[in-house]
């Protein structure tokens, strides 16, 4: 009997090991090419994930090895339909970060690319960890490269932005650790699948939900815990803004799905109205703030606050439709916002400014750039045919199913989205300023970085069936758990056993029947 290829471990370790090679390269151009090769290699190494079976809610590609037996700690990783999509998003964003920083990062190039690779490695760890301590360690460790990317390679106000980012997120992480310890004491294990089978006392659920929700709300971010967002997104280098918005912001929503809903279902239902109210506030506040800005990066930053409000709203509708919309929006928003930040960086390379207070006339001088920006802007406000439309439509349907008033309060947010995306688009497209004359069009590298994102946005909008097929079994299980049906009462069975590494380090077989 042989074990399956440890694809999750390889995806976690490969970028980290790739960092070692950077310190043997002296020339900056070779550092960029090497990092691009590592990022593409990471994408190729993720191809075995295509063997994921979408007909079951069970964790797959599971690997389990005793870590500290005396403390009950295990290296325990695996993926289900939720984490598969998040890991896939991370693998797509990594080469994008390398390409979009190709010419704008010109100091400490080796250290910058090392930080990007480490950040990717730790993100995969967060999305695949099935042990609470392992999850927490990955969650904490990724703050270091993220802090360095903002604080070392950011803009003029980078020090303040990086300090706010680290203080906000560390405060949330301290609360998360308290919840982790509480679940270990009460549940007797750090294993997330094992904890999902247990019914915890209502009092424990209430306070652990609150501390976890605060930690995840800071990371998402949600109003009013978003204080770090405008400065971090606007001061970070373009690659930093891409990874913050496309991947790190999704970790908070992932935490709600992975820990809050299955481990504290009673508290999730009790506090759902509060979380829905905060989500609606995020949508409206983010839309208003984005509409009032002339800095293109801050417009995208506040639009992310609004879009993530749709995500958290969908989660706490606690319905299948709401969860589908939330998870779909997490994926599509990551791709769309990443593309918008890349285009903002290309604008800065040509104009040396993110301000669009006056008409730029890009429609005449760089029509290809303007055409791509227009497409991404339409995707940003959920135009039909794009991935964002599918996610937001499902959330809106779920909101109206819960309450007409909840759905009605989201309508102004949708209108604001069109306003804050079309207003800068109009300013960028029209006019004949002299400074736009002679601007270069998109080069080959820029086309290569943007065209795959354009394809993915259209694919998600026009052919979303594959994503639903992957996510639906896991979300069905999550809805059942939130309604009080524990996993061991479910009858879904995997016909074939899942291979994993047993506690002794050997190879064994583990069947997970509906768990």
Rounded to a whole number, what is the distance in angstroms from the first to the last CA of the chain? 23
383-425 pLDDT, tens digit per residue, is 888 988 999 999 999 999 888 888 888 888 888 888 888 888 8
pLDDT for 154: 80
| Residue 52 pLDDT greater than 50, yes or no | yes
* Beta carbons within 8 Å of 214's beta carbon, 6+ residues apart: 172, 175, 225
Residue-by-residue DSSP string for 269-294:
HHHHHHHHHHHHHHHHHHHHHHHT--
Residue 363 is predicted with a pLDDT of: 77
Strands 60-68 vs 507-510: parallel, antiparallel or unpaired? unpaired
pLDDT at 486: 56
- Angle at 207 (CA atoms; ends 178, 73), nearest 5 degrees: 35
Rounded CA-CA distance 158/13 in Å is: 30
Going by C-alpha positions, the residue among 80, 61, 82 that lies closest to residue 12 is 61
Tens digit of each residue's pLDDT (9 = 90 or more) over 318-370: 888 999 999 999 999 999 998 999 998 888 887 777 777 677 778 778 888 88
Among the residues of 317-443, which ranges form H helices? 320-351, 362-365, 367-380, 387-402, 404-429
Quick one: pLDDT band at residue 106, thresholds 50, 70, 90? confident
The confidence score (pLDDT) of residue 347 equals 85
Token couple for 94 = 């990594």
Tens-place pLDDT, residues 163-194 = 888 888 888 888 889 999 999 888 888 888 88
pLDDT band at 89 (very low <50, low <70, confident <90, very high): very high
Q: What is the mean pLDDT of the chain?
A: 84
- Please check whether residue 162 is in contact with residue 105, taking contact to mean a CB–CB distance below 8 angstroms: no
As a whole number of angstroms, the distance between CA 190 and CA 77 comes to: 12
Q: What is the pLDDT of residues 448-457, one digit of tens each?
A: 989 999 999 9
Q: Which of 220-229, 273-282, 324-333, 493-502 has the lowest mean pLDDT?
A: 493-502
Mean pLDDT across 270-287: 92
Peptide bond just before 224 cis, omega within 30 deg: yes
Rounded Cα distance, 423 and 107, in Å: 35
pLDDT at res. 198: 85
- pLDDT tens per residue, range 9-24: 999 999 999 988 888 8
Give all strands (DSSP E) within 220-331, no chain letters: none
Task: Return the residue matching tokens 């390398």.
Answer: 98
Q: Using the 8-state DSSP alphabet, how is residue 76 labeled?
A: E
Cα radius of gyration rounded to whole Å, the chain: 22
pLDDT computed for residue 138 by the predictor: 92
Instruction: Provide the residue count of the chain.
Output: 515
The predicted model scores a pTM of 0.88
Nearest to 243 by CA among 100, 125, 376, 109: 100
Residues 302-316 have a mean pLDDT of: 91
Q: Which of 144-148, 226-230, 251-255, 370-374 has the lowest mean pLDDT?
A: 226-230
Backbone angles phi, psi at 100, to 5 degrees: -75, -15
User: Beta 498-501 vs 507-510: how paired, if at all?
Assistant: antiparallel
Judge whether residue 247 has pLDDT over 80: yes
Q: How far apart are the C-alpha atoms of 305 and 456, rounded to whole Å?
A: 22
């Amino acid at each position: 009997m042989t074990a399956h290829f440890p694809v999750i471990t390889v995806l976690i370790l490969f970028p980290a090991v790739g960092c070692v090679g950077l310190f043997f390269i002296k020339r900056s151009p070779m550092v960029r090419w090497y990092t691009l090769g590592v990022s593409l290699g990471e994408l190729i190494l993720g191809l075995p994930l295509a063997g994921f079976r979408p007909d079951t809610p069970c964790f797959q590609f599971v690997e389990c090895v005793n870590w500290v037996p005396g403390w009950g700690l295990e290296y325990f990783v695996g993926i289900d339909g939720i984490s598969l999509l998040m890991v896939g998003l991370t693998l797509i964003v990594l080469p994008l970060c390398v390409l979009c920083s190709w010419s704008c990062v010109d100091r400490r190039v080796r250290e910058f690319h090392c930080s990007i690779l480490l950040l990717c490695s730790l993100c995969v760890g967060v999305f695949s960890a099935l042990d609470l301590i392992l999850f927490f360690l990955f969650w904490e460790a990724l703050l270091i490269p993220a802090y360095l990317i903002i604080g070392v390679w950011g803009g003029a106000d980078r020090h303040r932005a990086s300090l706010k980012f680290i203080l906000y997120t560390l405060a949330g992480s301290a609360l998360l650790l308290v919840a982790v310890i509480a679940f270990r004491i009460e549940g007797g294990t750090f294993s997330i699948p094992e904890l999902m089978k247990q019914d915890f006392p209502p009092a424990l659920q209430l306070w652990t939900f609150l501390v976890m929700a605060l930690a995840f709300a800071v990371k998402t971010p949600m109003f009013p815990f978003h204080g770090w967002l405008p400065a971090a997104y606007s001061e970070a280098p373009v690659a930093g803004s891409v990874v913050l918005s496309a991947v790190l912001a999704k970790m908070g929503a992932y935490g709600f799905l992975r820990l809050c809903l299955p481990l504290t279902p009673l508290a999730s239902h009790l506090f759902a109205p509060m979380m829905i109210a905060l989500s609606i506030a995020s949508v409206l506040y983010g839309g208003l703030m984005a509409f009032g800005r002339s800095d293109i990066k801050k417009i995208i930053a506040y639009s992310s606050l609004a879009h993530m409000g749709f995500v958290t709203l969908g989660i706490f509708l606690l319905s299948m439709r709401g969860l589908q919309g939330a998870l779909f929006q997490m994926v599509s928003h990551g791709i769309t916002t990443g593309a918008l930040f890349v285009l903002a960086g290309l604008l800065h390379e040509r104009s040396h400014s993110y301000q669009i207070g006056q008409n730029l006339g890009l429609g005449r001088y760089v029509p290809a750039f303007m055409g791509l920006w227009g497409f991404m802007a339409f995707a940003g406000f959920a135009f039909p045919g794009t991935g964002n439309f599918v996610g937001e439509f499902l959330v809106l349907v779920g909101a109206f199913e819960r309450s007409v008033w909840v759905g009605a309060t989201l309508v102004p947010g949708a209108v604001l989205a069109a306003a804050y995306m079309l207003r800068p688009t109009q300013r960028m497209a029209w006019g004949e300023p002299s400074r736009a004359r002679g601007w270069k069009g998109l080069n080959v590298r820029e086309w290569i970085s943007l065209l795959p994102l354009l394809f993915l946005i259209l694919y998600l909008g026009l052919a979303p069936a594959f994503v639903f097929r992957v996510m639906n079994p896991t979300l069905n299980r999550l809805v059942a758990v939130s309604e009080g049906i524990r996993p061991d009462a479910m009858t879904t069975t995997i016909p074939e056993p899942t291979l994993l590494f047993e506690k002794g380090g050997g190879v064994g077989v583990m069947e997970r029947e509906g768990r």
